[in-house]
């Protein structure tokens, strides 16, 4: 027998080398030694959604200094809101700096995953360069992301269009010629607004088709601009000042959840303010208020920054058509009134398939396919795990805090949660673990009740849900901080845990790890002052949030 908590080798597969996959790899490498990690990425580089999105004007609408991992600032962002290539470059630099590329196998697609109960392992089928092969792993991490499969609009005749037809999320590497041409644009979300602002100055004529107005919030931070050379140098020379700037923005974002509550004072005040702001921007316009001021609550669908959106629609070469499209023919779009709009180029800024259904079959216990289970309604344990799919985690699964928290900080919290289970699997003779079905069913009941209090339950067309009246599958019913606190510790009783043989075998031969580690002090617990772990959630939270430094691995106060 070995010593207590002996570490067995752990083989992990991660699907996707975007922000989530890289975060997981970094944290795994930082905290663990005895492991093998393979990241399968279908693209030829890291960056995920930032590799695939390259349409004109594509940029992050979150301040660049806060679109970073919490511990990995970038002092030399060129603009307040970074372009897609610059964001993708951040993730490439991060992967190179921390030697994460060694885990990646690019241009490789996972086509099937199958849980083998008798082995306690996942078997994977993969395709690479027209070659099919197989791999297996102890723990499977799905970091393929929510925004990976673009969605064409469901419009009659779309396939008949003979001009240039392109989706913003599948923009070709060869430039699409829009200068001087008749361009049609479907969609008015963030991507639609960004491409409108980029294409409008050059298009011969631009016809914009939208089904419903959207709340134009304005920039989520400062006004868009490039940083001066002096500012960039100051960020480099004064990291503490940059930290202060990042914290100020994050505190502001984390104070916004009140706006997401349907009948709150904050929601009413914001709605009144935006209504007046939009009216002011429409003064002297050919458009009426109803075309730009939604009837649903602010935030029911994701608000857009729309820095120059309304002004771009006022341009002489732009025509706005409100309402459903009747059909598309070989050279034109027919609107709901039957008017024909001739086009050379049709751009669809119609978003992604956000059903959470995986892109490939994932067979869990008893051969159940997650694609089928999530066909009508996706549900998961705390947006992380799925009943009857052992040793499986997903980043940003159903009911994640996409609309109420900082994206990358939430990813970090999810990676921490997953690695706590990885540690237990590695050191406690665990065969498999998965959330109990009854626990997730109770969670679904709670979600249904809690969502009614939020603006997301209002009647609007939103990618947060499949229709105006359907369940909200892509949001957490609380703030981002609320979610991070909810997953800060593992609730073992929510899980079905199976062991390889006797569950107590991990106790080993009676010798502690400290006794066998030459770097450890055999009297480590003798001290002059109490620096032991704080045992209540309240004390730990306050120590952490008040700025007292706690070692992240031991939760002991330092200094």
CATH class in words for 10-149+354-499: alpha beta
**Is residue 508 very low, low, confident or very high in pLDDT (cuts 50, 70, 90)?**
very high
Q: What is the pLDDT of residue 547?
A: 57
* Mean pLDDT computed over 88-112: 98
DSSP bridge partners of 363: 114, 369
Q: What is the pLDDT of residue 469?
A: 64
Q: What is the pLDDT of residue 555?
A: 39
pTM: 0.93
- Higher pLDDT: 220 or 288? It is 288
Distances (CA, A) of 475 to 95, 165, 197, 233, 355: 29, 32, 29, 39, 12
Report pLDDT digits (tens) over 225-260: 999 999 999 999 999 999 999 999 999 999 999 999
Residue 177 has pLDDT above 80, yes or no: yes
Residue 265 has pLDDT above 50, yes or no: yes
Residue 16 has pLDDT above 60, yes or no: yes
Residue 285 has pLDDT above 90, yes or no: no
Residue 536 has pLDDT above 60, yes or no: yes
Burial class (CB in 10 A: 0-12, 13-18, 19+), 114: middle
Euclidean distance between CA atoms 8 and 5, whole angstroms: 9
Highest average pLDDT, of 284-293, 343-352, 533-542, comes from 343-352
Other CB atoms within 10 Å distance of the CB of residue 4 = 17
Q: What is the pLDDT of residue 471?
A: 80
**Is residue 438 very low, low, confident or very high in pLDDT (cuts 50, 70, 90)?**
very high
CA atoms within 13 A on the CB side of 265: 0
Distances (CA, A) of 342 to 63, 184, 329, 491: 38, 9, 9, 59
**Is residue 559 very low, low, confident or very high in pLDDT (cuts 50, 70, 90)?**
very low
Evaluate whether 74 touches 247 at the Cβ level (below 8 Å).
no
Residue 322 has pLDDT above 90, yes or no: yes
Q: What is the pLDDT of residue 69?
A: 98
Q: What is the pLDDT of residue 550?
A: 44
Residue 88 has pLDDT above 80, yes or no: yes
Evaluate whether 386 touches 370 at the Cβ level (below 8 Å).
yes
Residue 557 has pLDDT above 60, yes or no: no
Euclidean distance between CA atoms 55 and 172, whole angstroms: 8
Residue with the two structure tokens 């935006």: 274
Report pLDDT digits (tens) over 372-385: 999 988 999 999 99
Going along 94-199, which residue ranges are E strands?
Answer: 104-105, 108-116, 121-128, 131-137, 139-142, 164-167, 182-186
* Mean pLDDT computed over 8-12: 98
* Mean pLDDT computed over 128-150: 92
Q: What is the pLDDT of residue 386?
A: 98
CATH topology of domain 158-217+263-296+298-348: FAD/NAD(P)-binding domain (3.50.50)
Euclidean distance between CA atoms 44 and 528, whole angstroms: 55
Lowest-pLDDT choice from 282-286, 298-302, 394-398: 282-286
- Closest listed residue to residue 443, CA positions, set 483, 470, 394: 483
* Mean pLDDT computed over 131-138: 97
- Higher pLDDT: 557 or 191? It is 191
Q: What is the pLDDT of residue 370?
A: 98
Q: What is the pLDDT of residue 456?
A: 93
Residue 551 has pLDDT above 70, yes or no: no
Highest average pLDDT, of 35-39, 126-130, 471-475, comes from 35-39
Average confidence score pLDDT of the chain: 93
Residue 466 has pLDDT above 80, yes or no: no
Evaluate whether 550 touches 529 at the Cβ level (below 8 Å).
no
Report pLDDT digits (tens) over 184-202: 999 999 899 999 999 999 9
Residue 556 has pLDDT above 50, yes or no: no
Evaluate whether 386 touches 380 at the Cβ level (below 8 Å).
yes
Determine what percent of the chain is predicted with pLDDT higher than 70: 97
Ranges of CATH 3.50.50.60 domains, the chain: 10-149+354-499, 158-217+263-296+298-348
Q: What is the pLDDT of residue 467?
A: 64
**Is residue 549 very low, low, confident or very high in pLDDT (cuts 50, 70, 90)?**
very low
Measured torsion, CA atoms of residues 261, 265, 270, 273, in degrees rounded to the nearest 10 = 160
């Amino acid at each position: 027998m070995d010593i207590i908590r002996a570490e067995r080798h752990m083989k992990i597969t991660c699907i996707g080398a975007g922000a989530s996959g890289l975060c997981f790899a970094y944290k795994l490498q930082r905290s663990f030694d005895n492991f093998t990690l393979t990241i399968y990425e279908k693209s030829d580089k890291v960056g995920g959604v930032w590799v695939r999105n390259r349409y004109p004007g594509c940029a992050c609408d979150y301040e660049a200094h806060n679109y970073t991992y919490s511990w990995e600032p970038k002092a030399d962002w060129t603009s307040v809101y970074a372009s897609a290539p610059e964001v993708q470059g951040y993730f490439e630099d991060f992967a190179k700096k921390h030697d994460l590329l060694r885990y990646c196998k690019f241009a490789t697609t996972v086509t099937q995953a199958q849980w083998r109960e008798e082995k306690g392992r996942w078997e994977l089928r993969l395709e690479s360069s027209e070659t099919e092969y197989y791999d297996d792993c102890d723990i499977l991490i799905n970091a393929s992301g929510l925004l990976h499969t673009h969605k064409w609009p469901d419009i009659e005749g779309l396939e008949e269009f003979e001009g240039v037809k392109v989706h913003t999320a599948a923009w070709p590497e060869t430039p699409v010629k829009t200068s001087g041409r008749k361009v049609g644009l479907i969609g008015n979300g963030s991507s639609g607004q960004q491409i409108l602002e980029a294409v409008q100055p050059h298009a011969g004529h631009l016809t914009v088709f939208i089904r419903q107005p959207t709340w134009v919030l304005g920039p989520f931070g400062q006004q868009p601009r490039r940083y001066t050379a002096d500012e960039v140098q100051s960020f480099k020379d004064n990291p503490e000042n940059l930290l202060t700037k990042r914290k100020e923005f994050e505190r502001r974002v984390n104070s916004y959840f009140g706006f997401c509550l349907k009948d709150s004072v904050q929601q009413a005040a914001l709605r009144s303010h935006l209504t007046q702001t939009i009216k002011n921007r429409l003064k002297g316009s050919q458009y009426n208020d109803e075309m730009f001021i939604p009837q649903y609550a602010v935030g029911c669908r994701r608000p857009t920054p729309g820095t120059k959106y309304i002004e771009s629609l006022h341009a002489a070469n732009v025509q706005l058509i409100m309402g459903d499209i009747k059909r598309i023919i070989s050279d034109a779009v027919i609107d709901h009134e039957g008017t024909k709009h001739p086009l050379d180029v049709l751009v669809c800024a119609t978003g992604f398939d956000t059903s959470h259904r995986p892109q490939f079959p994932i067979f869990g216990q008893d051969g159940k396919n997650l694609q089928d289970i999530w066909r009508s309604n996706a549900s998961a344990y705390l947006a992380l795990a799925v009943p009857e799919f052992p040793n499986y985690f997903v980043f940003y699964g159903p009911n994640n805090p996409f609309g109420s928290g900082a994206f990358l900080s939430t990813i970090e919290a999810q990676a921490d949660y997953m690695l706590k289970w990885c540690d237990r699997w590695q050191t406690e003779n665990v065969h498999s673990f998965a959330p109990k079905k009854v626990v997730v069913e109770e969670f679904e009941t709670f979600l249904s009740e809690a969502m009614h209090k939020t603006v997301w339950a209002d009647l609007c067309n939103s990618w947060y849900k499949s229709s105006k009246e359907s369940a909200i599958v892509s949001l957490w019913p609380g703030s981002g901080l609320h979610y991070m606190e909810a997953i800060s510790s593992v609730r073992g009783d929510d899980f079905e845990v199976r062991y390889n043989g006797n569950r107590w075998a991990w106790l080993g031969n009676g010798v502690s790890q400290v006794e066998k580690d030459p770097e450890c002090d055999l009297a480590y617990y003798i001290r002059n002052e109490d620096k032991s772990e704080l045992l209540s959630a309240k004390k730990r939270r306050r120590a952490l949030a008040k700025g007292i430094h706690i070692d992240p691995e031991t939760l002991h106060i330092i200094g």
